[in-house]
Structure formats: C-alpha cells, structure tokens
Amino acid sequence: MTTRTTEAMILQTRDYGESDRLVSFLARTGGRLQGIAKGARRSKKRFVHAFEPGSLVEVTYRARKSLAWIEGCKLIEPHLGLRTDVERWGYAALVSEILLEMVPEAEPQDELFELVRQTFGRLTGDKDPVNVVVLFLLRFLDLAGYLPSLEACGVCGKPLSRARRWNWDLHRGTLSCPQHSPFPSEALALDLGTLMLIGRSRTVPLDRLWRLRVAQGRKMSVLRALTGWVQGYIRKDLKSLHLLDQVRSTQDP
C-alpha cells in the first residue's frame, strides 16, 4: 500500500462512529475518493477546518480497495467566504453534489481538478456566483463529453451565424433553428450571443474562463436547463437546488 500526498478539494464530510469522519474529496493525483479519518472528531487541533466542505487541502492517504485511509490533512485554503454567505454556500454545495454524483471514482483528471479548484476560489470571491456555476457546468459537461456540438441546426445544417434565435433540446442533445424547433416549450431558447459564449466556454484557457459573462436575462434559464439535464442523467433530484430555492425565496419575497 503506497502512501500518497496530494492537493485535494473536500466535497463532503460525515461523522462516523464515535470519533471518526468519512470524507469525500477530489484529489489532484487520485481522482474522486472517499476516505476515513480516524479520530478526526477528537483531535480537533490536528484537523482544524481541514475537513470542511469547500476547503482546499493537502491530504496524505493510503489507497485501499474501499475506503482510503487518511493519515494527515493540511489546510491550504479554507474559502471562508463560502461559509459566511448562504447563497455562495448553496452554490458550492451544488458543485460538490454534482461532482459526487457524476465523477467516477479514482479516475484522476488534472484538468477537472484545476477546474474545481478554480471554481471554489471564484465562488468565494466573484461578484456573480451564478455566472461562476454556469461556467463551471458548461466546462464540466464538456470535459466529461456530455455537451453536444452546438454549431449548426441538427435538422438542416444551418450554421449558427445564420439565425439569431435558437432552441437547444438538452435531452435529445440537438440544437435547432427557428424553422426546425418542434416544441419550443421543451427546449431552452438561446440567442446567438449566448450560444457563442457557450462555444468559447469550452475552448478558452481555464484561467480566462471566468471573464466570460452570461447575459443577465439568460443566466437562470441556462442554469435551470443544465441542472435539469444533470437530474435527468443521475435520475434523482439535486438536494442543494432545494436549499438554493429556499435561499432565493427569502431574498426576494
């Protein structure tokens, strides 16, 4: 059994037994893993903030067949801004939940780790956390191979630049021009500008991704459509969406 030390993002932590904690994390060199931290609830000093969801840490673990054995965990960045703002916290929980549901276990992917690391950083500080989550989702779904080509009408082949309004049917994975959109109510209506931004979100270098800004009036509908697609794919509701609905309903009565 080899011991590894790697950067990791903490996704979820649960108490286990009398004094242990079960920790799910995304490790740069190990992928998504679950591990057990023996005695973590007793030795608070050793693990302060280190197992909080959203924390960036340096974890030392021994890989085993089922649970990894966590030997040490050093805090790098606690992303405290997430813990003082319930909306940012809700979006961080949404990102974590999607990763826990969709990323296969123990398949390291450096680009994914970097995307997640930067997403949590941006969620902590960016003035527009919704924009951050939409960009994360687009890039994540593209990296995982779930985002279809969105360059022309799936029926007639008309290129993007030839129409201003488009419909994207996420469940069928097709984009259609105004002449070939069967039931607009089932598809996400998108203007040319938003489609071009989606195209850029797949190809720009990661550190420039966050400069893209989804149009104010489109952001929530794109977020709803993407999370709706995720829920259809994993065949269950995302719990953190309920939390976010509650947060929003208290903010604008």
Site string for Zn ion, 39-78 (x = CB under 5 A): ----------------------------------------
Instruction: Please identify which residue in 48, 76, 80, 156 interacts with Zn ion, judged by CB under 5 A.
Output: 156
In the bound complex, what is the minimum distance in angstroms from residue 170's beta carbon to Zn ion? 18
Closest CA to 229 of 150, 171, 172: 171
Q: Token digits for 147? A: 């985002």
Q: Is 80 in the site for Zn ion (CB under 5 A)?
A: no
Residues 195, 44: Cα–Cα separation, whole Å = 48
Instruction: Please identify which residue in 4, 62, 83, 180 interacts with Zn ion, judged by CB under 5 A.
Output: 180
By CB under 5 A, the residues from 96 to 155 that bind Zn ion are: 153, 155
In the bound complex, what is the minimum distance in angstroms from residue 147's beta carbon to Zn ion? 20
In the bound complex, what is the minimum distance in angstroms from residue 248's beta carbon to Zn ion? 36
Instruction: Please identify which residue in 26, 103, 141, 177 interacts with Zn ion, judged by CB under 5 A.
Output: 177
In the bound complex, what is the minimum distance in angstroms from residue 153's beta carbon to Zn ion? 3
Binding segment for Zn ion (CB under 5 A), chosen from 42-50, 171-179, 181-189, 216-224, is: 171-179
Number of residues that bind Zn ion (CB under 5 A): 6
Residue 75 gets the label, from left (phi > 0), alpha (psi -120 to 50) or beta, of beta
Closest CA to 159 of 176, 147, 139, 143: 176
How many residues appear in the chain? 253
CB 62 within 8 A of CB 138: no
Residues 21, 40: Cα–Cα separation, whole Å = 6
Closer Cβ to Zn ion, 186 or 245, answer by number:
186
CB 144 within 8 A of CB 151: no
Closer Cβ to Zn ion, 76 or 156, answer by number:
156
Closest CA to 124 of 80, 93, 76: 80
In the bound complex, what is the minimum distance in angstroms from residue 113's beta carbon to Zn ion? 39
44 by Cβ neighbours in 10 Å (0-12 / 13-18 / 19+) ranks as exposed
Which residue ranges make up the site for Zn ion (CB under 5 A)?
153, 155-156, 158, 177, 180
